[in-house]
Structure formats: C-alpha cells, structure tokens
Chain A
Amino acid sequence: MCGIFMNSVAAGLLSAAMYGVFVGAEDTSKGGVSRLAQMRNDTIPEAVVHGGRPLVDAGIFKTGIDSSALKENISTSVAELLSYNTSVFIRQSGRASLSTISLRGTSPSHTKTLWNGMKIDSPMLGMTDFSMIPAFLMDSATIFEGASSVQETSGGLGGAILLETRLPENEGFGLGYIQGLGSWLTADEFLKISYGGKRFSTSTGVILSTSRNNFRFINMDKKEIAYDENMQIVDSWHPVERNENGEYRDLHIMQELGWKTGRRGRARLSAWYLDSWRELPPMTVNYGSPEDYINEQREKTLRAVLSWTGNWDACHLRIQAGWAGTYLAYDYAVDNGTGRMDSMTASRSRTGSLQMKAEMSRYFGDRWLLTAMAEGRREHIRSADESALTADGTPQGYDAARTGISVAASVKWKATDSFSLSLTLREDMEDKVFSPPVPAFNAEYLVWSNWDFRIKAAASLNHRFPTLNDLYFQPGGNPDLRPESGISYDIGYSLSRTFLNCLDIFAEGGWSDSYIKDWIAWMPEGAKKNFWTPVNVMTVHAYGIGQSLKAGWTFAKDWELGLNGNFRWSPSIDSSRSGNSADKSFGKQLPYIPEFAASFTARLSFREWSVLWKWCWYSRRFTASDNSESVPPYIMNDLSLDRRIKFRKLDLAVGAEIRNLFDERYVSVISRPMPGINFEIFLSVTPHFSRK
C-alpha cells in the first residue's frame, strides 16, 4: 500500500516536472546545450557517430558507452553504468557490494577487463568487482562481445571490457570539485586537478565515497512474533529492518602523467590506487544480531601502467609495462559469549601481477592493416586464512605463481570499399601449458551507404585457463582442471542515418551463438564433500539476439533529446548430462543469467537544464539449476535533474538524482536486500583558468 502511494507520488512529481519543463520550453528557449556532466569535465557532448569505419573495427562487435553516461555523476559505479546503458546483467549482492557481470549468458570470469591495456581481473578469482570502479574516473568504456574480444585479449569467452583514462586534452590548468550528499549519510567527493602543456601534462583525480548505507526495508523473508502470557502467538508481522553492517568507505586516486618524447613519441604513466573498507550486510533470513559478529573486507590495490607510444605515418607502436598489486583482507568473527570476538575467518591475500606488452600496427596502403602483439605476465598469489592453522602450525592457504605468454597477430583487409575481412590468430601459454591456437575471423560488408547499413560476421575459438584459486585454493583447489574452451559465432548489422540535420539514428543488432566446454563450477565432489572444489562439469550453449538503438534529436531550438535503448535475449543452456537421473539441469537456463534484459535512457536537455531518465529491466533469474526456484524480474527507474550556472570566473552546477524512483522492492541476488527510493544531490564547482 505504501509502495503504491509512493509510486503515485513519484509519478505525479515526475509528470509535473516534465510538464513544467515542456511549457517552459515554449517561452524561454534561447540557445546552448546544458549538461552537468559536460560542465564538470568538459566531456564531449553525447552524439551519434556514423560514417566511415576505421579498418581496425572491421567486423567487430563492440558497444561503446557514451562519455556523458560515464560522467553522469560521481557516485555511479561501472556496475550501474553497464546496467543502464547496455543489456548485460550485473549481479549485485547489495548496494556497494560485490557486483559481477554476465555477458552473453556467461559467467563473471568469462568477461575480461582491461584498463589502459592492462588486465585488471583478479588473478585469484578471474573476475572483476565492478562496484569498485567509479565510472566517473573513466574516460572511455567499450564492450567487445564474444569473438570480437580475441583481438584485445584472451579468455573472454563472453567478451571483454576495455576501460580507459586519458590525459587532459586542453592546455592550461584545470580544477574541478564535486560534492554529493545522499540518503543514509552518503557523501561522495571528487577533486580533479589537471595541467596540459605542450610537452607535459598531468591529471590527478580523487574520489572518496562513504555511506552508512543502513537503508530501511520491509523484510518479507522474516516475521516478528508477539506472544501472550501463555506463550501463544497472538500476532506476527514482517519487520521493518535496516541494512545493518553495510557501511563502506572507498577511496580512489587516479594519477595520469604524460610527456612527449621527440616528434613522434609520447610516454605516459597511469596509476590508480584504491583503498576500500566495506562491511558485509547479513542476509534477510539472518536472525542474529549485528553486534555479535564482524563481517567486513578491506582492499588496497595499486595499478600502474607505464607506456610509450610512437606514431609514424602508417605505423603505430606501443610498449607498456603494468603492475597490479592487491592486498585483500576478509574478516569474519563472532562473539563467543564473553564479548570477545573469535576470528572464524581472517583471510589475507596478496596478489601481484606484472605485465609487459608490445603492440605494433602497420598500414600498407589504405587497404591492409597488420597488427602484432606480444605479452608476458607473471602472477603471484599468497593467500591464507590466518585464523585457521594447519596441523603443522602454518596458516591454511597457498603460495603460487605462474608465468603466461600471449602472442597474437592479425591482418585486416579492405577488399573493396564495401567489404572488409579480418583474421586474428592468438596463442597463449600458462606455466608451460599451451592453449590450442585461437583463431578469430571477422567480416563486414557495407550494403547501403546512404544508411551506412552494414552486415557483420565474426567467429572464433577461445579458451580460459583456470584461476589460481581454481588450481590451488585450500581446501578444494584442483590442479587437474582443464582450461575451458569455447567456440562462438556472431552475425549482425549496424546502420546510422541523419534526418533533416536534426535527427541522428544509430541501430545495431545481431545473433550470437557459442558453446563452452569444460565449464568450471565449484561444488562438493567425490570424496571432497565437506568442502567445495572446482570441477570441469558442464557444457553450455549460450546464444541469443541483441539489439540496440540510439537516437539524438534536436527537435526545437535549444532542445535536445538523446535516447539509448538496449535489449538482449540470451538463453544460456546447460547442455551436459550428468548421468544422474535426479539431475534435472539438462536443457535448463543457467542460474543468475536472465533470459531477457533491457535498458533505456532518455536525456532531455534545454539550455542549461538537463533531465535524465534511466530504466532497466531484467527477467527472472533462476537460482536453482533445474529452474525450480527464481527471484522475480525487476524494473528500475532513476531520474536526475541538472542545472548549470555560468559565472565569469567559474561554473557552478547543481544536480539531484532520485534512484529507484517508484520505490520498488527488488533484489538482484536472493536474500540480499536492495534499497528503496533514495536521493542524492550534487554541487559542482569548476573555476575558469585561462586556456589556450
């Protein structure tokens, strides 16, 4: 009842706000484009780009995230960014909790994440927690889907996400500060100082996010009971609870340094430091008291990439060295009744990853492009539960390292003005184990140039080596695991067109089909039933259709409307028979992979005003492998309003965001509550310095 009331109120406010905006448009339109994000970071306005495609993208299935979405506000993580701007599913274990991706019906470890060319997936877990990456710090995000990821990295059976940060493009000093204040004592702060010179440029960005995060929710999974004097139940109700033990504090420092080395070269150092402390909230079915336990994790991560790029007329060379080091601590302790906390788990993991990479590309005329890449990696992990000593008195855990080498070469050929082909061949080695050669084939044909209508096709083999946890974790690690292998095909189209110089449309879509063999899953197995162990257990057939549509419409003077819609149908089917007649998972959708997903954003700008509506929908996610249990589908709406105020010496911008606009009750992961309607306001200050 309360939810209906809130829905009505929110819908009414929204309608009124929209009405006011439209009526105001007729009276006050003057000119100019307003977007808080633009002002905040001098980002490129959202635009639909079309026309000739670079040869390097021939036949590639990729989705770029608009820069305006990345810079929407400082509290948005890449997890939320992907939820609202693509059709991938992000599995969130709560607000500011572990958020992992399912791309094209695959598991989180099947999507590889790169930052400025360096892999940043945890070598321990093989996946990325996207809640730990603020979108605002990134300047570019691109998803390479399925077979198209092979040209960027290996192991991306679902695909790869490339994140990039950039040096300041303008000369002169830059300074920006943003303060966000939101529900549950949430505070987000951002400071950026930059300098761009002729030979040297630097940029330092800091984001600090803190929140009590103790949102209220009606716990429908529990009941509280009232007894009479005879201990007979006289009443029961679903309690209103808070998301206790959910506090967090995340600090990010991003440093960019760039300097020109001679006429054609440029050196660059990117460093990203993360210091995070997060409590882990209990499940909705936990009757224990939060005071009786500690459940939290701390992470300190430093990632750094030093690179040198040289550009000649037809040749591009990049050499880079990267380091990623993480200290991850997880503590679970319970009160033993005396007020003392007994440590049940004190997991301490130190991971280090050194990566060296060289890439070269060379055009031969305007029809041939050859690229070659060689990469070496050294990963080292020390992971131990210091609360549990083995019989010989040492902590349970493992200390393992491995060396990996990847080489790849590709040739792209523009056979005619309309037809391009690409062939990539990749070879990987991990600890002297060679993968089978990984070929990828891409083709693209321009069918109708007026609409820039192209058809594309891609196919590849791929594989993924087990993570170091898969191999060595104690207890359960399985050194006998085989690498997962996959084959995938894509066929699709893209088109773009401008109408009457005021309406830009871009659409793309396609069919994808992949088979993954030797899928690794953790479960009690054989004689190891009192702990979990990874096994090559499944064959999975993941396929589906994806469709996206973007439009930019300047429909009246000073008015702009940007639309971005995405849809995906992605069955991901367990195709392996276990030999157990009680196993009903054959032919069923994999758990936590929604069959349908969609997102939509609409940004309406009028002069210095901007309204953004974000919407996403996920169909039910099965929680059982036989599809006998599931969590309900959900629709989420966010709405934000920005206003920019220009002064001679500085720009101000104020913004407000309403999240979960209709106060929907929803979960992404079973028994993990998500917040209802909540708010955050932002104030941005950008002083003007003289710029060339």
Chain B
Amino acid sequence: MIQHTFKKSIAAAFGCLAVLSGCMKWNDGNEETAVTSPKEGTTLFIACEGQYQYGNASLSWYDTGSRTVENDVFRRANGQKLGDVAQSMTLENGTLWITVTNSNVVFATDPATCKLKGQIAEGLSQPREIRFISEEKAYVSQMNDPRIAIVNPSTFSVTGYIDTGMDNADGCSTEQMILMGTDLIVNCYSFQKEILIIDTRTDEVTGRIETGVQPCSIRLDKDGKLWVLTDGGGWSGNPAGYEAPALSRANLEKLSIEKRMDFPEGSYVSSLQMNTAGDSLFFLNGGVMAMSIYDETLPEKAVISVEGANFYDMTVCPENSEIYVSDAADYQQAGTVYRFSSKGEQRDRFEVGVCPGAFCWY
C-alpha cells in the first residue's frame, strides 16, 4: 500500500516537473508587427551602447513633435538583438547604418520601420563609424585594427582596406570620419595622437597631423578648420602619454595644430559638437559647455548642468539648435535623455536604453 502510494507520488512529482520545465519562456526571437513608425523630420534616433560584454545594446527613437519615445525598437522589429556596444549611427540615402563595435557588425536598417535591410559582418574588426563616399563605397573605421575597411554598401561586403600605418602593438583605433571634398579626415584615438587625411580617390593616407594624446572627437567649422578634442590619455601609464585634455584647432592645409587650449588636469571631456552654422562648439566637461569658434579661452561655466547627472553624450538639433544630452547614470541601467532649448532651459526628459551613446537625426 505504501509502495503504491509512493509510486503515485513519484509519478505526480515527475508530472509536475515536466510542466515546470516548460515554464521557462523567452520573449526574444519574435518580431513585433506593431512598432510605431518614426516620422521623418521629427525623429531623433538614440543608439544605446548597453553594458560592455552584456550584448544588450539597443535602439530608441524620440519624436520631437509628439514627445513620444519608443525603446528597443531594433529587437522588436527584427526579433534579434542589436549586439554589444552600439557605437555610432549614420543616415545615408534613406538607410540608417548602425555600427556595433564588440559584435563586429554594421547593420543597415530602414529608419521608417527599423527593419533590417542588410548587414556587413565578414571582414570587419570592431567597427566604430561608417562614412559614405558614394553609393557603392564607404569607409568603416575600426578598433584594435590599424586598417580602415572599404565596403560596398550596396552589396554589404568589404572590398578592401586602407593601411593607416598605425602600430597596433598597444592597440589602436580609427574613430570619427569627416568627408571634405575628396579628402577624408579621421581621428586615431586608442593609444594614439594623430589625425589622418585620406585621399578617397586612391584610398591612401596623404597627410598626418600630430595632436594631443588620444583625440576623441573632431568637428569641422565654417572656415574649414578642424577642431580636435583630446582626452589626454586618462592615466599616467597610457602608452601614448598622459597630459591635460585639450581643445585644439588644426589647419588642414598646413597639417598642423595652430591653436591649443588646455583643460585643467583631471578633467574628462568628450562629445565635441558643432552647430549647423559651423560657428559654435559644444562639448561635455561635467556639464554642457559652449563657445564660439573665435573665443580665445575655454568656457569656465557650463551652459547646461543637472545636479548629480552623469552626462554621457550630446547632440545639437540641426533645425532649432535644441540640445539633447544623455545621462548614463551608473552605466548599468536605462539611461535618460534631457532635452534643452538652445538657451539651456529643460523642455523634456525621457528614458531610453542602457548607456545612450550616439544620436542621429532623421
């Protein structure tokens, strides 16, 4: 009798087990058909890096008119993750290109639906940014690789490389790229201190400008001068050296730095931006700093600051010069984006994904 009851109990237990084992439900892998569509002209895309080695990068968009935000739209539209460390976005010919550094991939998406149009994966090493030369040619800057990849966007394939001549022994990276006529201007960041000029007709490096340690951000002003933000290396053991961060102005014709303004040692500066007119600079140094390209000294006071905030990246609206600044908080939670008027008045704030680190206007 005891054995009979026992056997029943065991059978029931295994029955429960079978049910329980089916309780693990994943909500990934499914595409959502009802993702609201971004509107052209009023949309700001935000690429959220996610946490390094978590693979939880995400894409958000914000409608500046209706003040609505949609998060994690890439995964929802495509049923797959965006990847690990979404680094930058470029809008070109109706396609939104997203580089995902630690996933070694560049995604091409339809900005109206966030649906995937294609991907470049083979032949890339930690892509940082994509810049278009023509419909059939683009450059992809890379990290831990001294080469810039040449890709054919129409076939989603790598067609060649530009050797930058950097020594990769300590690590290296090419980062932001600006097209000026037939020349491409590139900053070399990790453990480097150079700006490269590349002739896009021959795919060869034709000029170099030595900058301060680790140029992290570059922008071109209306006078054709290149503004370079260097972070100084961050710590005394940096193979490239360690110095005060600086904002410099480079003369692209003479291939030299013609003006340098140092920040106090220990400052952390990032995210150099230029307004549409090309005469005002913005960057982060605790708060949002602003200055004219003709100022002789660095600004001392932030035009925008929020108590306790941990500003991570920013963008200036090309239409109305509104300033959008992201706050990464502790780098392991949903970030916040603040929207300010050009005069620094807060107009909105909204939550996005983890570590919002890149913006793109649509």
Q: Are A396 and B330 in contact (CB under 8 A)?
A: no
Contacts of A389 on B, CB cut-off 8 Å? 169-170, 239
**Among the listed B55, B80, B145, B308, which residue makes an inter-chain contact with A671, where contact means beta carbons less than 8 Å apart?**
B55
Q: Are A585 and B329 in contact (CB under 8 A)?
A: yes
Q: Are B241 and A221 in contact (CB under 8 A)?
A: no
Closest Cβ of chain B to A222, distance in Å, is 6
Which of B4-12, B200-208, B252-260 sits within the interface? B4-12
Q: List B321-362 residues whose CB lies under 8 Å from chain A.
A: 327, 329-336, 349, 354
Q: Are A334 and B145 in contact (CB under 8 A)?
A: yes
Contacts of A629 on B, CB cut-off 8 Å? 56, 334, 354
Q: Are B104 and A585 in contact (CB under 8 A)?
A: no
Known: A287-B103, A292-B125. A637 touches B21 (CB 8 A): yes
A344 contacts chain B at the CB level, 8 A cutoff:
yes
Q: Are A556 and B330 in contact (CB under 8 A)?
A: no
Which of B35-43, B264-272, B274-282, B290-298 sits within the interface? B264-272
Which of A11-19, A63-71, A128-136, A543-551 sits within the interface? A11-19
Q: Are A579 and B308 in contact (CB under 8 A)?
A: yes
Contacts of B168 on A, CB cut-off 8 Å? 336, 342
Closest Cβ of chain B to A176, distance in Å, is 32
**Among the listed A15, A555, A623, which residue makes an inter-chain contact with B54, where contact means beta carbons less than 8 Å apart?**
A623
Complex Cα spacing A228 to B117, Å: 12
Known: A223-B79, A238-B80, A632-B26. A334 touches B330 (CB 8 A): no
Q: Are A289 and B103 in contact (CB under 8 A)?
A: no
Q: Are A628 and B333 in contact (CB under 8 A)?
A: yes
Contacts of B191 on A, CB cut-off 8 Å? 388
Q: List A528-578 residues whose CB lies under 8 Å from chain B.
A: 528-531, 537, 555-556, 578
A179 contacts chain B at the CB level, 8 A cutoff:
no
Q: Are B169 and A342 in contact (CB under 8 A)?
A: yes
Contact pattern, A 587-619, Cβ under 8 Å of B = 1, otherwise 0? 000010000000000000000000000010100
Contacts of B266 on A, CB cut-off 8 Å? 527
Complex Cα spacing A662 to B22, Å: 9
Contacts of A529 on B, CB cut-off 8 Å? 234, 268, 270
Contacts of A343 on B, CB cut-off 8 Å? 169
Q: Are A523 and B331 in contact (CB under 8 A)?
A: yes
A449 contacts chain B at the CB level, 8 A cutoff:
no
Q: Are A626 and B22 in contact (CB under 8 A)?
A: no
Q: List B1-48 residues whose CB lies under 8 Å from chain A.
A: 2-3, 6-7, 10-11, 14, 17-18, 20-26, 28-29
Known: A584-B333, A628-B334. A286 touches B14 (CB 8 A): no
Closest Cβ of chain A to B306, distance in Å, is 7
Q: Which residue of A lies closest to B349 (CB)?
A: A582
Query: For the complex, would chain B's binding face be called helix, strand, loop or mixed by DSSP majority?
Result: loop
Contact pattern, A 514-534, Cβ under 8 Å of B = 1, otherwise 0? 000000000110111111000
Q: Are A637 and B17 in contact (CB under 8 A)?
A: yes
B interface residue count range (under 10 / 10 to 19 / 20 to 34 / 35 or more): 35 or more
B102 contacts chain A at the CB level, 8 A cutoff:
yes
Closest Cβ of chain A to B10, distance in Å, is 6
B88 contacts chain A at the CB level, 8 A cutoff:
no
Q: List A482-525 residues whose CB lies under 8 Å from chain B.
A: 523-524
Contact pattern, A 625-649, Cβ under 8 Å of B = 1, otherwise 0? 1101100111101000000000000
**Among the listed B121, B170, B236, B310, which residue makes an inter-chain contact with A287, where contact means beta carbons less than 8 Å apart?**
B121
A116 contacts chain B at the CB level, 8 A cutoff:
no
Q: Are B17 and A615 in contact (CB under 8 A)?
A: yes
Contact pattern, B 206-239, Cβ under 8 Å of A = 1, otherwise 0? 0000000010000000000000000100111111
Which of B61-69, B153-161, B176-184 sits within the interface? B153-161
Complex Cα spacing A390 to B329, Å: 31
Complex Cα spacing A474 to B236, Å: 9
Q: List A391-421 residues whose CB lies under 8 Å from chain B.
A: 391, 396
Q: Are A391 and B242 in contact (CB under 8 A)?
A: yes
Q: Are A233 and B122 in contact (CB under 8 A)?
A: no
B81 contacts chain A at the CB level, 8 A cutoff:
yes
Complex Cα spacing A25 to B3, Å: 10
Q: Are B169 and A220 in contact (CB under 8 A)?
A: no
Q: Which residue of B lies closest to A475 (CB)?
A: B235
B138 contacts chain A at the CB level, 8 A cutoff:
no
A22 contacts chain B at the CB level, 8 A cutoff:
yes
Contacts of A530 on B, CB cut-off 8 Å? 214, 231, 234, 268
Contacts of B240 on A, CB cut-off 8 Å? 391
Known: A283-B53, A635-B23, A662-B18. A336 touches B237 (CB 8 A): no
A366 contacts chain B at the CB level, 8 A cutoff:
no
Contacts of A617 on B, CB cut-off 8 Å? 20
Complex Cα spacing A585 to B105, Å: 31
Contact pattern, B 123-158, Cβ under 8 Å of A = 1, otherwise 0? 011000000000000000000111100000011100
Complex Cα spacing A284 to B82, Å: 11
Q: Are A334 and B144 in contact (CB under 8 A)?
A: yes
Complex Cα spacing A69 to B17, Å: 21
Closest Cβ of chain B to A382, distance in Å, is 15
